[in-house]
């Protein structure tokens, strides 16, 4: 054991000595143009990762989630998997979209290294995390270190537009004793709240000429009709009332007060200026806390808006319709990101904290991400998980997106230690 520990220390030291190779790996990943939207552009990058893992002894499973967007899962079978813990390392290969008028130093997919940072689209979110984890695997392989437990590496598609490549991995049956999502977390161990989008529709069964409006709204008109746009205003007010109620009555440690929001993002309604609006659709985005599920919060919203509708004579007869979530912001204008609650007492969390503190000699921070990742799909599938990756949230999606080389090196060292220790932990 002492010899193995010394061997691991020597491998960890190599991260510093060979950081040029690590930087080059990040640059290689950035040069693959994988913005989403438009998406359907990750095949070449995923082929690179599949070949990288295959060279290290991984068995490769690659399948198209959407045309041109395949998932890649590599499985490195442990020497005694029935006796030792298994680990999933997960990250997404797609990056945030790039607009034509953005002022990049060179180009978003032409990486720049200077002043201790790497600049390029996706370096923080999250090709830096992917590269660090891959480099850790490379160093373990080169050192001839064999793991007793299974190591599963998932490079997934679609996270930026809610296409949930990670969900597809779960559906395909990939499970482990613990999962680390190497997304942007500034080297904090994080859980997250959740997000779900929804459409609320108010619809009349009849369409009226705009000249009939007087009969709908003035005394004695006796036409039981209404503008769906105006009735949606009552729904909007009801959503605001519920949002304020949540802000007062709900909280979660580590989350900013009022982080559970209901955002009226897009409204669509009416057909022509000569008609009374017979339909109005509201697209909302709902943020909820780590200890809540999307099923619970959508039920609360439907019940509350149902009571609002009951208080209005027209809405009582034309109750609002709800459609929640979706599989893609591109394909069906909807998404779900389940919440992820981190158990601080879970052995995987404690082992990652210990690796962080032993390698970096500073206290590990465990908190809650201000955004969402694919990590929630592991929680939804009953797989204990945590978000832990390099990069700061304020750099993600930004023009001239950047990542600290020092933090990238630190992350790679910690992942080396953690992979080694966790996959040697007896069941």
Residues serving a catalytic function are 94, 159
Give the C-alpha separation, 127 to 28, whole Å: 10
Is the distance from CB of 203 to CB of 281 less than 8 angstroms? Answer: no
| Closest CA relative to residue 334, chosen from 261, 285, 262 | 285
Give the C-alpha separation, 157 to 327, whole Å: 12
φ, ψ of residue 166 to 5 degrees: the values are -65, -40
| Rg of the chain over all Cα atoms, to the nearest angstrom | 25
Per the listing, tokens 């034309």 go with 318
Give the C-alpha separation, 414 to 136, whole Å: 9
Give the C-alpha separation, 177 to 88, whole Å: 8
Give the C-alpha separation, 170 to 179, whole Å: 12
């Amino acid at each position: 054991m002492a010899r193995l520990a010394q061997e691991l220390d020597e491998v960890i030291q190599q991260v510093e000595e060979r950081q040029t190779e690590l930087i080059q790996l990040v640059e290689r990943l950035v040069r693959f143009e994988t913005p989403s939207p438009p998406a359907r552009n990750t095949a070449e990058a995923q082929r690179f990762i599949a070949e990288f893992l295959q060279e290290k002894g991984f068995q490769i499973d690659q399948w198209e989630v959407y045309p041109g967007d395949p998932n890649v899962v590599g499985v490195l079978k442990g020497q005694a998997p029935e006796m030792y813990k298994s680990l999933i390392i997960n990250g997404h290969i797609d990056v945030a979209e790039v607009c034509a008028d953005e002022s990049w130093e060179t180009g978003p997919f032409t990486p720049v290294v200077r002043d201790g940072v790497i600049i390029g689209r996706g370096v923080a979110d999250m090709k830096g995390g992917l590269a660090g984890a891959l480099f850790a695997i490379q160093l373990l392989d080169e050192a001839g270190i064999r793991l007793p437990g299974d190591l599963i590496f998932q490079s997934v598609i679609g996270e930026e537009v809610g296409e949930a490549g990670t969900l597809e991995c779960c559906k395909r049956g990939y499970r482990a004793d613990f999962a680390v999502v190497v997304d942007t977390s500034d080297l904090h161990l994080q859980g997250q709240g959740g997000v779900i989008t929804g459409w609320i529709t108010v619809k009349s069964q009849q369409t009226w000429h705009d000249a009939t409006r007087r009969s709908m709204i003035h005394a004695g008109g006796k036409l039981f009709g209404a503008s769906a746009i105006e009735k949606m205003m009552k729904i909007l007010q009801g959503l605001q009332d519920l949002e304020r109620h949540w802000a007062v009555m709900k909280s979660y440690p580590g989350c900013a007060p009022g982080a559970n929001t209901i955002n009226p993002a897009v409204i669509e309604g009416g057909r022509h200026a000569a008609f009374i609006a017979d339909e109005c659709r509201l697209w909302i985005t709902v943020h909820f806390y780590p200890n809540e599920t999307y099923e619970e919060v959508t039920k609360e919203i439907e019940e509350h808006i149902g009571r609002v509708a009951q208080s209005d004579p027209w809405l009582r007869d034309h109750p609002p319709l709800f459609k929640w979530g979706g599989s893609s912001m591109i394909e069906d204008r909807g998404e779900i990101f389940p919440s992820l609650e981190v158990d601080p007492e879970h052995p995987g969390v404690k082992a990652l904290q210990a690796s962080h503190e032993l390698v970096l000699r500073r206290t590990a921070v465990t908190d809650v991400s201000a955004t969402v990742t694919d990590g929630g799909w592991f929680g939804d599938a009953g797989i204990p998980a945590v978000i832990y990756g390099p990069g700061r949230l304020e750099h993600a999606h930004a023009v001239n997106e950047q990542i600290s080389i020092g933090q990238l090196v630190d992350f790679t060292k910690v992942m080396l230690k953690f992979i080694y220790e966790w996959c040697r932990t007896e069941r």
